[in-house]
Chain A
Amino acid sequence: MTLSPAARFLLVLAVLTAAALLLPFVANRGLVFLAGVVAINVVLGMAFNLLFSTAGLLSFGQATFSATGAYAVALLLLRLPDIPFLLALALAAAAGALAAVVIGFVALRRTEGVYFAVLTLAFAELVHVVIAKTSFFGRNDGLTGIPRPRLGPIDLAQGQAYYVFVIVVTALLIACLWWVTHSRLGRSFRAVRLDPMRAAFLGIDVRRRQLEAFAISGACAATAGGLMGPLTSIVSPDLAHWGESTKPILFTLLGGAGHFWGPLVGAVVFSAVEYGTRSLAGASDLITGGLLLAVVLAIPGGLLGLAALLVARLRPNRAGNQPSPPAIPVASTAEGAAR
């Protein structure tokens, strides 16, 4: 039995969403809160991976977009308490896309080597300083007392309602990102990553495709970031710090950049490790750094890449029995993993 890629994706997404929704029945409030944060981080990782593995852009400034979304939602909820929450999220997405287009317009002039990474890093720090020094954004203290809004008749402040909302929205964002990755647009993104020159001489507008990937990634990251404020009731300039930009990179490489679900695996494993070592001062940095270094040096395909390798090794002589991939397979091997 072979399922189409879309059906297989929806099956996995449904199982994961159901598991996340059942969590409040078995776990305490602290863990459920953490799961909400992890769900948001999964989207941030996947939005980064769309740029990195699909469009071939190493962005070191993703915190700009998640922080843009977080601040947009926080400001809207605090200043316009009657705004429909979904509208606030949509505006956050638009703000993230706009920020991405403005930054991308400049940074994408230099996509080669480390220049793009450092340019995005510089812009992210610029945004960080501006947020931390502007009273409209609450300066270093950030914005506090962000309420959990209503969604029509549903009060998201009640019980686990907001957690459920976070899970549903992240599932929708993941579906969006999957669609972009595997659609005609995603195919042209991959063409641009694999060989920008060849893509250009097929009539593909390379700069525009890269800007589109950047805008989509920014919009998704901003929407996910927008979910953060009502969850934690505070947004602070730390959200825009460049250390925050490196987290999605870490999730992606840890889980496996060549795999759509890589950032999810990475975010869950990373959060579990961090949770397990939370009482040791400094240990979390050591463990995070050591883990990341080990992955890059030893298993550049990440945990999912390692798993795929092990599965292939466990059934060596059954190539003939394997279900044949669809006529146009959608493998998106990361550059590093392919080498």
Chain B
Amino acid sequence: MIADLPSLLFNALVWGMATFLVAAGLTMIFGILHVLNFSHGGFFMIGAYVAHSLTNWSAAMANIWGFLAASVLAGAVIGLVGLVVDRAVFRRLAHVDGAYVLVATYALLLVCNGFVKLVWGLNVVSASPPPELFEVSFIGNLVLPHYSLFVVVAGVVVFLALEWLINMTSVGRLIQAIAIDPWMARLLGVNVGLIYSATVIIGFALAGLAGGLLVANQSLSPDLAGIFIIQAFGVVIVGGMGSIRGAFLAAILLGLVDSFGTALLPQMPGVLFFVALAAILLVRPRGLIASGRLS
């Protein structure tokens, strides 16, 4: 048990950063639109399939640059889809009861599932990482697959990029202002509708990017959306809805719970995640970072 400690910590970090990649866009959209978007997992999944198809398209893509390009392209495609979803769905839900909004985004998730089944079929597909990330390093007994290291780095890079976007750019400050008080922002002449759309596009693009980056983290199947959305919900809620920093911390925390839980209760993987989620919500119902605003 103690001998495994470094590898448990490493697994926690990989789980945490993979989930954070999915949760980042989710919490951002919640911070601005107050929509807990079930379909985020669906668009993440479509992003993964798109990236997979792109890398298989030509042999020239079978290296790390092709892999990154495919992920960015998947993000761009899903970001465009986000524009459509914002116009066709989210805008119409602005004055609808929260329960109906949640159900509407669940309906969108079903549409995503159906789309994946129709286009890519029901079979489980396994994608392999680009050759540069195929190798494995050892530090003592600790096994470090390069692809897992890549996922951790990608998570941290995306986190830092979002921190920069939110805190250092003018668009980010507008987004923060609207998260705090949309009415006041509108009064001050901010084009709130435009910022809403921008947030949805960024959030969706993050889902697509996460799909591309994590394409080799697990096998691809139409069940992918459901698995990740529940984990991402947990991270978003524990972190404090709408808080990117909170989601980052919560992802690491829940990663530790999942990693140690699987070691302690190998016959019931994943159970402790739900127990921890319920326990944390009861103690801190508004999450770790309770402001509920983008931060």
Contact = CB atoms under 8 A, between A and B. Distances in A.
A283 B110 CA distance: 10
Contact of A296 (B104, B267, B282): B104
A79 B55 CA distance: 53
Interface in B97-151: 97-100, 102-104, 106-118, 121-122
Given A123-B278, A281-B118, A293 B113 contact: no
B96 A296 contact: yes
A300 B96 contact: yes
Interface string A232-254: 00000000001100100110010
A84 interface: no
A250 B106 CA distance: 10
A288 B110 contact: yes
A281 B268 contact: no
B132 to A, nearest CB: 35
B27 to A, nearest CB: 13
A156 interface: no
B285 interface: yes
B96 to A, nearest CB: 6
B122 to A, nearest CB: 6
B20 to A, nearest CB: 18
Interface of A is mostly: helix
A253 B97 CA distance: 13
B102 A117 contact: yes
B113 A285 contact: yes
B36 interface: yes
Interface stretch (A107-115, A142-150, A319-327): A107-115
A109 B282 contact: yes
B117 A289 contact: no
Determine the interface band of chain B, counting residues with CB < 8 A from chain A: 35 or more
A288 B109 CA distance: 10
Given A242-B230, A297-B89, A125 B108 contact: no
B97 A293 contact: no
A290 interface: yes
A284 B222 CA distance: 13
B103 A253 contact: yes
A297 B103 CA distance: 11
B118 A58 contact: no
A161 interface: no
A240 to B, nearest CB: 13
Nearest to B268: A133
A250 to B, nearest CB: 8
A119 B112 CA distance: 24
B109 A289 contact: yes
Contacts, number: 130
Contact of A290 (B99, B111, B122): B111
A130 B271 CA distance: 7
A335 B103 CA distance: 14
B282 A281 contact: no
Nearest to B112: A289
B237 interface: yes
Interface in A280-326: 281-293, 296-297, 300
Contact of A122 (B109, B111, B267, B277): B277
B113 A339 contact: no
A130 B268 contact: yes
Contacts of B208: none
A243 B226 contact: yes
B229 to A, nearest CB: 10
Given A283-B114, A297-B92, A58 B271 contact: no
B98 to A, nearest CB: 6
Contacts of A284: 114
Interface in B233-287: 233-234, 237, 267-271, 274-275, 277-278, 281-282, 285
Contact of B107 (A106, A129, A289): A289
Contacts of A249: 103, 106
A126 interface: yes
B285 A110 contact: yes
Interface in B58-110: 89, 92-93, 95-100, 102-104, 106-110
5 contacts: A110-B282, A282-B122, A286-B114, A335-B99, A339-B96
Q: State the 9 A-B residue pairs at the shortest beta-carbon distance, nearest first.
A: A282-B117, A289-B110, A286-B114, A285-B114, A292-B107, A289-B111, A126-B274, A282-B118, A293-B107
